[in-house]
Structure 1
Amino acid sequence: SADQGAPGGAADRSRSAVPSAPRVAAEHIIRTASLTVRVKDVPTALDEARTAAVNAGGYVGDETTRRDGRGHERTRVVLRVPVDAYEEVLADLEGTGTLIERSANAEDVTGQVVDVESRIRSQRASVARIRELMDRATRLSDVVTLEGELSSRQADLESLLAQQASLKDRTSLATITLTLSETPVRKAAEKGDDDPGFLDALAGGWGVFLTLLRWLTVALGAVLPFAVVAAVAVLGWRKLVGPRLPRRPRQP
């Protein structure tokens, strides 16, 4: 009829009553970042990083600290912070010292989240059907078969639930890996005039003299055994062989 085809008629009202397709409320993104910051004092900077993470509603994960041969500390800490405070915490961490290296990654896993949720719904429905069949089963063999099938499907459901929990944790909390290293302390005193003076020249000359004297002593120690042998040989020659040699007569 004309009423059904007219705007606002029955046909139009029926079309408006059809529910629209569900939409994903928000994108699911896994955010990770890695920072390397050089600081003057690692323990102080580490406390500031912990405070920033806790104040943002996150927590501190793994932490590793080591000290090199020169006594410089290096700490690696993993921070988990809510996604909403991710950028703010990154800015705070960069301000603790001199930024050496930064890398950030954002992985969209919305498709995985939707797929896992759909599979969970299907698996739960499958488990419910198996339980209904078990309630109506009368033969023992059917009950045993259905129990095995139920155990298998429940295991699959638990695996899907674990995947869902992991995705939720990784998308709701960003992961920041922070590496803090100490600034090497310059031991050389900075002075206004670096030109060498008389005392510097005197100290340098004395050092050269001591070095030369040490090398002469080493050379003398190396030659001394040969000199002793040569002296003994000459002395033996003069005592044993020298008197037997014919002597020239003296001329008048």
Structure 2
Amino acid sequence: MKKRNFETKIITGLLTAGMILSLTACGSSSNGSYGISDLMDADYAVASKEAAAPEASAYEDGFGMTEGYDSAGNAQDTSTTVPEETAATADRKLIKTVNMDVETREYDKLLSAVENKVTELGGYIESLDAYNGSTYYSYRSTRNANLTIRIPKDRLEEFQNTVSELGNVTSRSENVQDVTLTYVDLQSHRDALQTEQERLLQLLEQAESIEDIITIEQRLSDVRYQLESMESQLRSYDNQVDYSTVYLYIDEVEVYTPVEEETTWERISAGFMDSLKSIGEGIKEAAIWFVIHIPYLVIWAIVIVIIVLILKKIKKRTKRIRAEEKKKFAEEEARMQKTLQNTAENTAENTVATQNSNE
């Protein structure tokens, strides 16, 4: 009896130990799987918190200010209060864009000088669209060019002054876009993603199951894609901030557009001179057109002469035929009249003869 009770106790103890070991194993597996997912969520939460902190700090430092320009090109602060100059405000990301229209009497010289100045200042010409004028189809054979130029932001004013000295600036405008908040936000998200990428790599080294490895690698792929996109945007902003954009239009003219308002007499005089120049240009263009088209004119002259000769020959022949027909008709009419006359005479003679015979 005692032996039987002892065996029962042993079996019960073994079953209890087996159940405990089984529950422990399940709990361990569950905790291991939850740990990877939980750590990834925790990393994302920490990264988001780190991304929000620099943005708030930047806004407090005055990055949210915007700046505009009046018609004279003077900077105007659009904020209600002006904070003290700090390192943060000095590092604001400003994209400057300038539009300039310039007249010149020496087109080639100005274009060459602009290209040399751009190279000297460390900039570059992004695009150049030149029109070399008309040969003879227009009265005014002028040239013009549209240039998109990138100039280092610290040398922008020097470039504008050089262009103003070389030609007659008829129009100029400047626009400033403050992208500081956007730039700082991108930087913060990039830093947060880099931190998340490092922690994901650590988790990848610690992962044991295939499921965890696949999950981590998928997240790593997403993070790397976002990092590349943000790096590209930051590089684009850096280029736009470091190099101001100048849209330059160069127009070749004979007379500069007056800056000051002209008097009535000056307008009449200028208009009269323009008319004379237009007439001169017209005569010159007509002479050029005539010289260019001489071969065509010679061919057409030969064709016209041949046509005229043929027409004259046809007319002469027609006239001769008509004269011959008229002459023939006159002869026929005379012959008929003579025949009628002879017939009348014969009839009269016959009548007289008949009367004589009757008597």
TM-score, structure 2 normalization? 0.48
Contact 1:32–1:106, Cα closer than 8 Å, also in 2: yes
- Equivalent residue number for residue 124 of structure 1: 194
- For residues 68-127 of structure 1, give each alpha carbon's deviation from its aligned partner in whole angstroms, at most 9, with x where no partner exists: 223644333332112232233123213322234434322222221122122212222221
- Equivalent residue number for residue 80 of structure 2: none
CA distance in 2, matches of 1:43, 1:81: 21
Q: Within 5 Å, give how 1:65-84 maps onto structure 2.
A: 65-70=130-135, 72-84=142-154
CA distance in 1, matches of 2:317, 2:171: 68
- Equivalent residue number for residue 241 of structure 2: 171
**Do structure 1's residue 37 and structure 2's residue 96 form an aligned pair?**
no
2:176 to 106, 109, 114: 106
Larger Rg, first or second structure (1 or 2): 2
Aligned residues: 203
Q: Secondary structure at the match of 2:125?
A: strand
Contact 1:83–1:174, Cα closer than 8 Å, also in 2: yes
CA distance in 2, matches of 1:240, 1:44: 85
2:221 to 140, 146, 151: 151
CA distance in 1, matches of 2:221, 2:159: 45
- For residues 155-179 of structure 1, give each alpha carbon's deviation from its aligned partner in whole angstroms, at most 9, with x where no partner exists: 1111101101111110121011223
1:246 to 333, 337, 354: 337
2:324 to 215, 225, 235: 235
- The alpha carbon displacement at 1:227 in A equals 6.4
CA distance in 2, matches of 1:242, 1:102: 95
- Equivalent residue number for residue 204 of structure 1: none
CA distance in 2, matches of 1:159, 1:74: 39
- The alpha carbon displacement at 1:226 in A equals 5.0
- Equivalent residue number for residue 133 of structure 1: 203
RMSD: 3.5
- Equivalent residue number for residue 211 of structure 1: none
What stretches of structure 2 of length at least 5 have no aligned partner? Answer: 1-55, 64-87, 136-140, 256-272, 278-303, 342-359
More strand by share: 1
Q: Within 5 Å, give how 1:52-91 maps onto structure 2.
A: 52-70=117-135, 72-91=142-161
- The alpha carbon displacement at 1:154 in A equals 0.6
What letter corresponds to residue 187 of structure 2 in structure 1?
Answer: E
- Equivalent residue number for residue 48 of structure 1: 113
Q: Which runs of 4+ in 1 moved over 4 A?
A: 221-228
CA distance in 2, matches of 1:232, 1:108: 96
1:92 to 154, 162, 169: 162
Contact 1:31–1:104, Cα closer than 8 Å, also in 2: yes
CA distance in 2, matches of 1:92, 1:121: 42
What letter corresponds to residue 144 of structure 1 in structure 2?
Answer: I
CA distance in 2, matches of 1:116, 1:226: 93
Structure having greater relative contact order (Cα 8 Å, sep ≥ 6): 1
Q: Secondary structure at the match of 1:246?
A: helix
Q: Alpha carbons of 1:38 and 1:21: their partners in 2 closer, same or farther (altered >3 Å)?
A: closer
TM-score, structure 1 normalization? 0.66
CA distance in 2, matches of 1:61, 1:132: 44
Identity of aligned pairs, percent? 21
Q: Secondary structure at the match of 1:69?
A: coil
